[in-house]
Amino acid sequence: MDTSPERIFELLPKLPKSEKELISRACVFAEKAHRGQVRKSGEPYYNHVFATGYNLATLKMDSDTIAAGIMHDVLEDTDVTEEEMTAEFGGHITKLVQGVTKLGKLRYSGVERHVESLRKFFVAMADDIRVVVIKLCDRLHNIQTLQYVDAHKQQRIALETIELHARLADRLGMGRLKAELEDAAFPYVYPEEYKQTVELFKSLRPISDEQLEKVVGKLEEELSIFDVRIERIDSRIKHLYSLWHKLKRYKMDQSKIYDVIALRILVPSPSDCYQALGVIHGLYRPVPGRFKDYIAVPKPNGYRSLHTTIFSGDGTTLEIQIKTKDMHEEAEYGIASHLSYKEIGKANGNMTEQEIKRKIGWTKDLLEWQKDVEHHQEFMKNLRTDFFEKRVFVLTPKGDVIDLPEGSTPIDFAYAVHSKIGDHVAGAKINGKLVPIDTTLKNRDVIEIDVKDSAFPKRKWIEMARTTMAKRKIRQHIREHGGLIDKFLTR
């Protein structure tokens, strides 16, 4: 394995000389510290930490984070002290390495131990999200070399990767990293389903390369006629784990899968996206019900794009995604595309520090509710329900997006907006129609809550609510005001 810093520099051609020197020093420091240590594969341990730094570079992370990634195991696995690292690299980089070290080794053996490790994970995530990005890049290389791990450990590590690390990458909008983690873990967690999906994939390809080239040629010609600027047209093939997950959702009905192959059209601006969409629908007939506008209403993890599926004219269908270069980079790298602390707030389109905190505000919610969870089994169940299961995004009457777990009701929505609204729900409208307050919400529903001072939480609301936060707030209100409510009801 080539572990020269130049491999990283090739990924970051605009990196200043001083930052190249920093990364080079981190490589030398880590290689010396880990000298003599080997992995299960027999390779030098340094190969792993270098791969972590390389993975961070593919996400375009800043040089401090890459250096910390290369040295992320130095404090835990070698004799180097925090004082020595601080003297050589400063407090900021050392703090990042300490953050990774404090996470320890997450394990699924023993729920109690695992939950305490997760609590540490979430504290680190809320404190500095870069620590978690380093940990995800560390995990990616570990899962890609899982064949060298003892067989009885492989399934546990792979399951943890799918259920925790990939879900975190997804919540952070890091689509590329999420898919790589899932695909690498898939054959270890579900070996039979993996083999079945590989076989199905061969028969699911809906359009040939020749047909695809023909569609691309017609699109380029038509878009040019209408003066729609194109930066790039390429295609992407659906990842295996994602394909299996979708097939499972549709009870393995292959006819419901439209996006095994998708064309990506990158244009300069959001207005160009909509203009390109009009041209495409003028050229090809769209499949009814398959248009999604994730630009006007982004996904909860920040994903933005226009999606449409067309009949290509020869009996096949094809999904087309239309987005800007910035939208594409954020879909690939998610929060990592905004994390370079040297770039935050600059006029190059990156987020301000406040915007980043708002984007990962759910990590604060996660920390808040986990304080009240007493039983470890309950913690794991609520974690999957509230943060890592499939999400829906619904709208307030003003158009603000509220991100909730699938299966949520107007009660969950009300408490997500504000606890005072939740405590006084008298009724709800979905898309302008009165509905029961236990109605299941769907993507893009517009929710309006009728609030009255005389309304208050009932015990049956606990069963109607889906989110831990709403259930907790309902119980809290009943504990604090239950006596007054009972007197009021018996008058």
DSSP strand pairing (317-324 vs 261-267): parallel
b/e 83-115 (16+ beta carbons within 10 angstroms → b): eebbeebeeebbbbbbbbbebeebebeeeeebb
What is the token pair recorded at 290? 């398959």
Q: Amino acid letter at 87?
A: A
Going by C-beta distance under 8 Å and a sequence separation of 6 or more, which residues neighbour residue 319?
258, 259, 261, 262, 263, 290, 307, 308, 309
What is the token pair recorded at 128? 């500095």
**Could you give the CA distance from residue 338 to residue 66 in angstroms, rounded to a whole number?**
15
Among all chains, which residue has been given the structure tokens 């695909």? 183
Going by C-beta distance under 8 Å and a sequence separation of 6 or more, which residues neighbour residue 50?
1, 3, 27, 30, 70
Alpha helices for 60-174 (secondary structure H) = 63-70, 74-77, 82-103, 111-127, 129-144, 151-160, 166-171
Q: Is 315 left (phi over 0), alpha (psi -120 to 50) or beta?
A: left
Question: Is 361 in contact with 116 (CB distance < 8 Å)?
Answer: no
Which of the residues are catalytic? 76-77
Question: Is 422 in contact with 415 (CB distance < 8 Å)?
Answer: yes
**Could you give the CA distance from residue 385 to residue 389 in angstroms, rounded to a whole number?**
6
> Which of 266, 283, 348 shows the shortest CA–CA distance to 318?
283
**Could you give the CA distance from residue 206 to residue 112 in angstroms, rounded to a whole number?**
47
**Could you give the CA distance from residue 356 to residue 368 in angstroms, rounded to a whole number?**
19
End-to-end CA distance of the chain, in Å?
79
